[in-house]
Amino acid sequence: MFKKALLALPVAMAVGAAAQAGEWQDPNDVLQNLLQNNPDSKYLHQSEMNIMMMPDNPALWLVEEGEDLFYAQRGPNNVSLEGCDFGKGPGELDGAYVELPRYFEDTDKVMDFEQRLVHCMKELQGFTSDDAAVGQRHGNGSDIMKLTTYIAHQSSGMAWNPPLDHPQEQAMRDAGEKLFFRRGGAMDFNCASCHGDSGKQIRASVLPQMRDGQEWTKAVSWPAHRAGHDNVRSQNHRIRGCVWQMRHAGIKHDTPVNTALISFWNDAARGEPAILPDLKR
Amino acid sequence: MFKKNAVAAGMAAFASVALAAGCAVADGSKDSAVDITAMSADELAEHLIFETDSFRDQEMQEGGSWRDRMTQDELQKACSMEGDPDGETAGRVVAMARAGYERPEGGVELGDWRKGAELANSGFGYRQGHNTDDHGQREQGGNCYNCHVFDPRVSEQGTIGPSLQNYGANRGTSEAVLNYVHEVISNPHQYFPCTEMPRFNSDRHQLLSDEQISHLMAYLLDPESPVNNQ
């Protein structure tokens, strides 16, 4: 019943095909391949129910809504987002999401996906931080999550491939790796405290291992419908949640610490196909 | 691989080793024109944390600002590597942890295991950001259940740390056991250098009060506790 979202896709579906960089695949097919290739991963297999629900992933509704928003003329400047360059040229969305964060000449810095989207909504459409369109970052009702889900979906099945050619890209990725292992906060945690071993649990949640690319590609595949929240969530929302549990300090939106972490974690899934959108516990 | 038997290793090495982890922020400038490619990865990580306005300006529950909380002490710096520490680092960390430990005056005592059970199963406390824990509203917990199974009858316990089921039943309540468990909860790096387990009462800060720790110890060691009746 959610399948109609897929009809809007510009790219033909490659059903069940092995992961090929550059080739769009239905997110459920990507997941099924991962499951088959990793029969022993507790993390990947932890929720039978979510695996069953995947073909009817509620996040697919947001794909449709996001598409309408993307092409609508909006904001004080009454233009669509077709002029937004996510790194592959204005309006070019195929494969753009899996090649972020990246360096943008117009801002002379490395930007992650959400930061770039907000940049375009402000610069092209004329929204300001006070407008709900960019101010509200979380929840199915937010423009940001609708747009994120639509745009990310255009990269489903493609391999994570954030560029590292520009020296700033390499620098941010390397700093992100340091941040991943940097012990700190009230309880001395780094990211590896919980994501350094396979098959370990925090309460009922089986945790993904960062150095296992096939676990990690699912781990970083956001947007995802989070069943426990009954909402589609972003990479930024996941970072916020982990940092909160870690008893570090709260990270602000669109900041370099956030971007560096994403630069590293997408790099850690390099070469593995993205599940976009995914469905998580 | 070094963790458990590193206690004796390299004790002598601790004072002399310079830390590799850098905190020399390039020039302290907030100028966006700063050249991030000229910094080492360590320098850039510190720069991003302290000079780019990335954190919310909130007051921490233990006192101080986000800056204080995100500033590493020597032990955190020493443990910021991937994987287990080498022998030298392990020895240095154990020495640091021991130097900062103080046994309570009058010795270690067991409190009330019922209160300890509540504390062990509470993840409340010290969280910051979009949803900040107010310690005035509710007592902070120990988060122990996130990582340890104490009592398999309590659902949803983590496995990052070892199961502590029957912990006291297997060990008794001699003074040596009491002292050891108090040392581990206060600062586990005395025995397990660079462990994932937080320090609950160290020279960095006191996350749990002496009384709370005595309740947690009772939950682990009291013969009446459900942990020891399985």
Question: Smallest Cβ distance to B129: which of A197, A203, A250?
Answer: A250
pLDDT per residue as tens digits for the range B24-81? 333 333 445 789 999 999 999 999 999 999 999 999 999 999 999 999 999 999 999 9
Does residue A16 sit within a domain? no
Q: Which residues on chain A are in Cβ contact (under 8 Å) with B45?
A: 175, 178-179, 182, 260
Radius of gyration of chain A (CA): 18
Predicted confidence at residue B160, as pLDDT, reads 92
Does residue A15 sit within a domain? no
User: A174 vs B41: CB contact, 8 Å cut-off?
Assistant: yes
Does residue A79 sit within a domain? yes
User: A250 vs B55: CB contact, 8 Å cut-off?
Assistant: yes
Q: What is the pTM of this model?
A: 0.90
Does residue A13 sit within a domain? no
| Per-residue pLDDT in tens (0 to 9) along chain A, 281 residues | 343 444 444 444 444 444 445 799 999 999 999 999 999 999 999 999 999 999 999 999 999 999 999 999 999 999 999 999 999 999 999 999 999 999 999 999 999 999 999 999 999 999 999 999 999 999 999 999 999 999 999 999 999 999 999 999 999 999 999 999 999 999 999 999 988 877 677 777 888 889 999 999 999 999 999 999 999 999 999 999 999 999 999 999 999 999 999 999 999 999 999 999 999 98
User: B45 vs A171: CB contact, 8 Å cut-off?
Assistant: no
The answer to whether residues B47 and B34 touch, using CB atoms and an 8 Å cutoff, is yes
Predicted confidence at residue A50, as pLDDT, reads 94
Strands (DSSP E) contained in chain A are: 102-104, 109-111, 201-202, 205-206, 224-226, 231-233, 278-280
Give yes or no for a cis peptide into B162 (omega within 30° of 0).
no
d(CA B228, CA B230): 6
Its domain, for residue A61, covers 2-8+23-280
The residues spanned by each domain of chain B are 2-71, 90-230
Tokens coding A244: 């909160």
Catalytic residue among A84, A120, A194, A242: A242
* DSSP 8-state code for residue A13: -
Q: Compute how many other C-beta atoms are within 10 angstroms of the C-beta atom of residue A73.
A: 11
Does residue A127 sit within a domain? yes
Predicted confidence at residue A60, as pLDDT, reads 97
CA distance A255 to chain B (A): 5
Q: Which residues on chain B are in Cβ contact (under 8 Å) with A194?
A: 160, 196
Chosen from A110, A115, A183 to mutate, greatest number of chain B CBs within 10 A: A183
* DSSP 8-state code for residue B104: P
Question: For B90-230, CATH number?
Answer: 1.10.760.10
CA distance B4 to chain A (A): 17
Is there a catalytic annotation at residue A242? Answer: yes
pLDDT surpassing 90 at residue B20:
no
pLDDT per residue as tens digits for the range B158-215? 889 999 999 999 999 999 999 999 999 999 999 999 999 999 999 999 999 999 999 9
CATH code, A70: 1.10.760.10
User: B76 vs A257: CB contact, 8 Å cut-off?
Assistant: no
- B76 at the A interface (CB within 8 A)? yes
Does residue A110 sit within a domain? yes
Predicted confidence at residue A99, as pLDDT, reads 98
Size of interface A-B (CB pairs under 8 A): 151
